[in-house]
Amino acid sequence: MNTENSIDEESYNIRTERFEGPLDLLLHLIKKNKMDIMEIKISEITSEYLYYLRDKSRINPSREGDFLMTASTLIYIKSRSLLPKPEILQDEESPEDRLLNTLIEYDKIQKISQVLKDMEGQTLILWKREEVAEKFVSKEFELEEVSSFQLAEVFLNLVKRREGESFLYIDSKKYSIEKKWEELLQLVETDGYLDFFQYVESLQTIEEILVSFFCMLEMIKQRVFIGVQKKLFGPISLWKKTG
Protein backbone atom coordinates (compact mmCIF):
# COMPACT_ATOMS: atom_id res chain seq x y z
CA MET A 1 0.00 0.00 0.00
CA ASN A 2 1.26 3.41 -0.91
CA THR A 3 0.88 5.57 2.13
CA GLU A 4 2.49 8.63 0.61
CA ASN A 5 -0.23 8.96 -2.04
CA SER A 6 -3.06 8.56 0.38
CA ILE A 7 -2.16 11.85 1.98
CA ASP A 8 -4.69 13.93 0.13
CA GLU A 9 -5.45 17.61 0.05
CA GLU A 10 -7.99 17.35 2.83
CA SER A 11 -5.70 15.71 5.32
CA TYR A 12 -3.04 18.26 4.58
CA ASN A 13 -5.02 20.80 6.53
CA ILE A 14 -5.63 18.52 9.45
CA ARG A 15 -3.20 19.01 12.24
CA THR A 16 -2.92 17.45 15.63
CA GLU A 17 -5.09 20.19 17.14
CA ARG A 18 -8.15 18.41 15.82
CA PHE A 19 -7.39 15.24 17.70
CA GLU A 20 -7.91 14.36 21.32
CA GLY A 21 -4.58 12.57 21.43
CA PRO A 22 -2.27 10.19 19.57
CA LEU A 23 -4.73 7.29 19.83
CA ASP A 24 -7.50 9.40 18.34
CA LEU A 25 -5.21 10.31 15.43
CA LEU A 26 -4.16 6.69 14.90
CA LEU A 27 -7.77 5.48 14.88
CA HIS A 28 -8.63 8.22 12.41
CA LEU A 29 -5.85 7.06 10.08
CA ILE A 30 -6.90 3.42 10.40
CA LYS A 31 -10.51 4.25 9.56
CA LYS A 32 -9.53 6.59 6.76
CA ASN A 33 -7.52 3.82 5.14
CA LYS A 34 -10.40 1.40 5.76
CA MET A 35 -8.16 -0.97 7.68
CA ASP A 36 -9.50 -3.43 10.21
CA ILE A 37 -8.23 -2.63 13.66
CA MET A 38 -7.37 -6.28 14.24
CA GLU A 39 -5.31 -6.50 11.09
CA ILE A 40 -3.56 -3.18 10.83
CA LYS A 41 0.02 -3.07 9.70
CA ILE A 42 1.49 -0.56 12.05
CA SER A 43 4.50 0.08 9.85
CA GLU A 44 2.15 1.22 7.10
CA ILE A 45 0.47 3.98 9.04
CA THR A 46 3.64 5.16 10.71
CA SER A 47 4.72 7.46 7.89
CA GLU A 48 1.25 8.92 7.71
CA TYR A 49 1.21 9.49 11.45
CA LEU A 50 4.59 11.17 11.32
CA TYR A 51 3.32 13.41 8.57
CA TYR A 52 0.99 15.01 11.07
CA LEU A 53 3.87 15.87 13.33
CA ARG A 54 5.99 17.26 10.52
CA ASP A 55 6.20 21.02 10.10
CA LYS A 56 6.01 21.40 13.84
CA SER A 57 8.86 23.76 14.34
CA ARG A 58 8.03 24.23 17.99
CA ILE A 59 6.84 21.46 20.24
CA ASN A 60 4.65 22.13 23.22
CA PRO A 61 5.74 19.31 25.52
CA SER A 62 2.55 19.21 27.55
CA ARG A 63 0.45 18.63 24.44
CA GLU A 64 2.55 17.24 21.64
CA GLY A 65 4.60 15.19 24.09
CA ASP A 66 1.95 12.48 24.03
CA PHE A 67 1.97 12.50 20.24
CA LEU A 68 5.75 12.17 20.19
CA MET A 69 5.69 9.28 22.64
CA THR A 70 3.43 7.33 20.32
CA ALA A 71 5.55 8.36 17.32
CA SER A 72 8.62 6.83 18.95
CA THR A 73 6.68 3.63 19.65
CA LEU A 74 5.58 3.49 16.01
CA ILE A 75 9.11 4.01 14.73
CA TYR A 76 10.37 1.38 17.12
CA ILE A 77 7.79 -1.11 15.88
CA LYS A 78 8.57 -0.30 12.27
CA SER A 79 12.30 -0.70 12.79
CA ARG A 80 11.73 -4.01 14.53
CA SER A 81 9.79 -5.28 11.54
CA LEU A 82 12.73 -4.48 9.28
CA LEU A 83 15.29 -6.24 11.41
CA PRO A 84 15.73 -9.96 11.81
CA LYS A 85 13.62 -11.01 14.77
CA PRO A 86 15.36 -12.00 17.95
CA GLU A 87 13.85 -14.85 19.91
CA ILE A 88 11.08 -13.43 22.04
CA LEU A 89 10.07 -15.02 25.27
CA GLN A 90 6.61 -16.51 25.00
CA ASP A 91 4.96 -14.57 27.78
CA GLU A 92 6.38 -11.22 26.74
CA GLU A 93 3.93 -8.87 25.09
CA SER A 94 5.39 -7.42 21.90
CA PRO A 95 5.14 -3.63 21.40
CA GLU A 96 2.83 -4.30 18.44
CA ASP A 97 0.41 -6.22 20.61
CA ARG A 98 0.56 -3.65 23.33
CA LEU A 99 -0.25 -0.81 20.93
CA LEU A 100 -2.98 -2.85 19.25
CA ASN A 101 -4.61 -3.63 22.59
CA THR A 102 -4.47 0.02 23.55
CA LEU A 103 -6.08 0.94 20.24
CA ILE A 104 -8.83 -1.65 20.61
CA GLU A 105 -9.57 -0.35 24.10
CA TYR A 106 -9.55 3.24 22.89
CA ASP A 107 -11.91 2.34 20.07
CA LYS A 108 -14.37 1.04 22.69
CA ILE A 109 -13.95 4.21 24.74
CA GLN A 110 -14.80 6.32 21.71
CA LYS A 111 -17.91 4.24 21.11
CA ILE A 112 -19.03 4.60 24.71
CA SER A 113 -18.38 8.36 24.50
CA GLN A 114 -20.65 8.46 21.47
CA VAL A 115 -23.39 6.63 23.38
CA LEU A 116 -23.00 9.03 26.32
CA LYS A 117 -23.13 11.98 23.95
CA ASP A 118 -26.40 10.71 22.46
CA MET A 119 -27.83 10.22 25.95
CA GLU A 120 -26.73 13.71 26.90
CA GLY A 121 -28.55 15.06 23.86
CA GLN A 122 -31.71 13.20 24.86
CA THR A 123 -31.74 14.43 28.46
CA LEU A 124 -30.63 17.98 27.73
CA ILE A 125 -33.95 18.63 26.04
CA LEU A 126 -35.86 17.53 29.15
CA TRP A 127 -35.97 20.49 31.49
CA LYS A 128 -36.07 19.91 35.20
CA ARG A 129 -37.02 22.02 38.16
CA GLU A 130 -34.90 25.15 38.65
CA GLU A 131 -33.15 24.48 35.38
CA VAL A 132 -34.04 27.91 34.08
CA ALA A 133 -32.39 29.63 37.00
CA GLU A 134 -29.25 27.52 36.55
CA LYS A 135 -29.13 28.10 32.84
CA PHE A 136 -29.22 31.82 33.44
CA VAL A 137 -26.76 31.86 36.29
CA SER A 138 -24.05 29.91 34.54
CA LYS A 139 -23.91 32.47 31.74
CA GLU A 140 -23.59 35.74 33.60
CA PHE A 141 -22.92 36.25 37.26
CA GLU A 142 -21.03 33.22 38.33
CA LEU A 143 -18.66 34.30 41.05
CA GLU A 144 -15.67 32.06 41.14
CA GLU A 145 -13.96 31.13 44.30
CA VAL A 146 -10.31 32.06 43.84
CA SER A 147 -7.28 30.97 45.79
CA SER A 148 -4.68 33.37 47.10
CA PHE A 149 -2.39 32.19 44.28
CA GLN A 150 -4.88 33.30 41.69
CA LEU A 151 -5.24 36.58 43.48
CA ALA A 152 -1.47 36.97 43.40
CA GLU A 153 -1.56 36.31 39.66
CA VAL A 154 -4.03 39.14 39.23
CA PHE A 155 -1.63 41.33 41.07
CA LEU A 156 1.33 40.28 38.92
CA ASN A 157 -0.84 41.10 35.95
CA LEU A 158 -1.23 44.60 37.30
CA VAL A 159 2.46 44.97 37.95
CA LYS A 160 3.37 43.81 34.44
CA ARG A 161 1.90 47.00 33.13
CA ARG A 162 4.64 48.88 34.91
CA GLU A 163 7.37 46.53 33.82
CA GLY A 164 9.72 49.20 32.61
CA GLU A 165 10.01 50.64 36.06
CA SER A 166 13.13 50.05 38.09
CA PHE A 167 12.82 47.86 41.14
CA LEU A 168 16.35 48.55 42.25
CA TYR A 169 15.85 51.79 44.04
CA ILE A 170 13.07 52.16 46.46
CA ASP A 171 12.39 55.65 47.61
CA SER A 172 11.48 56.48 51.09
CA LYS A 173 7.92 55.74 52.07
CA LYS A 174 5.65 57.94 50.05
CA TYR A 175 2.37 56.15 50.38
CA SER A 176 0.60 54.85 53.40
CA ILE A 177 -2.35 52.54 53.74
CA GLU A 178 -4.06 55.16 55.87
CA LYS A 179 -3.87 57.80 53.16
CA LYS A 180 -4.88 55.33 50.46
CA TRP A 181 -7.82 54.29 52.58
CA GLU A 182 -9.12 57.84 52.67
CA GLU A 183 -8.51 58.31 48.95
CA LEU A 184 -10.26 55.10 47.88
CA LEU A 185 -13.16 55.73 50.21
CA GLN A 186 -13.61 59.20 48.78
CA LEU A 187 -13.46 57.95 45.17
CA VAL A 188 -16.07 55.29 45.83
CA GLU A 189 -18.29 57.72 47.71
CA THR A 190 -18.29 60.31 44.93
CA ASP A 191 -18.86 57.91 42.00
CA GLY A 192 -20.85 55.25 43.81
CA TYR A 193 -18.42 52.61 42.63
CA LEU A 194 -14.83 52.18 41.46
CA ASP A 195 -13.22 50.15 38.69
CA PHE A 196 -9.99 49.16 40.38
CA PHE A 197 -8.05 48.40 37.18
CA GLN A 198 -8.94 51.78 35.77
CA TYR A 199 -7.80 53.41 38.98
CA VAL A 200 -4.48 51.57 38.90
CA GLU A 201 -3.88 52.77 35.32
CA SER A 202 -3.72 56.30 36.65
CA LEU A 203 -1.04 55.50 39.20
CA GLN A 204 2.61 56.22 38.55
CA THR A 205 4.66 53.67 40.47
CA ILE A 206 4.58 50.02 41.42
CA GLU A 207 4.87 51.05 45.03
CA GLU A 208 1.66 52.98 44.84
CA ILE A 209 -0.10 50.12 43.04
CA LEU A 210 1.09 47.76 45.76
CA VAL A 211 -0.19 49.96 48.53
CA SER A 212 -3.52 50.43 46.73
CA PHE A 213 -3.93 46.72 46.15
CA PHE A 214 -3.30 45.80 49.78
CA CYS A 215 -5.46 48.64 50.94
CA MET A 216 -8.29 47.38 48.74
CA LEU A 217 -7.93 43.85 50.16
CA GLU A 218 -7.95 45.23 53.69
CA MET A 219 -11.04 47.30 53.03
CA ILE A 220 -12.88 44.30 51.61
CA LYS A 221 -11.77 42.24 54.58
CA GLN A 222 -13.00 44.86 57.02
CA ARG A 223 -16.25 45.02 55.09
CA VAL A 224 -15.94 48.64 54.10
CA PHE A 225 -16.15 47.65 50.43
CA ILE A 226 -17.77 44.89 48.47
CA GLY A 227 -15.46 43.70 45.70
CA VAL A 228 -16.73 41.83 42.65
CA GLN A 229 -14.62 40.21 39.98
CA LYS A 230 -16.72 38.35 37.45
CA LYS A 231 -13.88 36.37 35.97
CA LEU A 232 -10.23 35.64 36.56
CA PHE A 233 -8.04 38.57 35.47
CA GLY A 234 -11.22 40.53 34.81
CA PRO A 235 -11.90 43.99 36.14
CA ILE A 236 -12.46 44.39 39.87
CA SER A 237 -15.42 46.57 40.83
CA LEU A 238 -15.75 48.08 44.28
CA TRP A 239 -18.85 49.30 46.06
CA LYS A 240 -19.31 50.73 49.49
CA LYS A 241 -20.99 48.31 51.82
CA THR A 242 -24.19 49.78 53.16
CA GLY A 243 -25.73 49.10 56.53
Residue 72 vs 190, nearer CB to other proteins:
72
CB of 108 to other proteins, least distance (A): 6
For residue 113, state whether it binds other proteins (rule: CB under 8 A): yes
By rule CB under 8 A, what count of residues binds other proteins?
36
For residue 127, state whether it binds other proteins (rule: CB under 8 A): yes
Alpha carbons 50 and 16: distance in angstroms, whole number: 11
Alpha carbons 108 and 112: distance in angstroms, whole number: 6
For residue 168, state whether it binds other proteins (rule: CB under 8 A): no
For residue 96, state whether it binds other proteins (rule: CB under 8 A): no
- Given candidates 128, 160, 173, 223, which one binds other proteins under the rule CB under 8 A? 128
Measured N-to-C along each axis, helices 22-32 and 42-53 cross at an angle, to the nearest 10 degrees, of 120
For residue 36, state whether it binds other proteins (rule: CB under 8 A): no
**CB under 8 Å to 104, separation ≥6 — which residues?**
37, 38
**CB under 8 Å to 227, separation ≥6 — which residues?**
196, 216, 220, 236, 237, 238
For residue 125, state whether it binds other proteins (rule: CB under 8 A): yes
Ranges of beta strands (E only) in 58-110 are none
Residue 54 vs 139, nearer CB to other proteins:
139
Amino acid at 103: L
For residue 231, state whether it binds other proteins (rule: CB under 8 A): no
Sign (positive or negative) of CA dihedral 170, 175, 178, 180: negative
CB of 141 to other proteins, least distance (A): 15
Q: Which residues bind other proteins (CB under 8 A)?
A: 20-24, 62, 66, 70, 102, 105-106, 108-113, 115-117, 119-130, 132, 135-136, 138
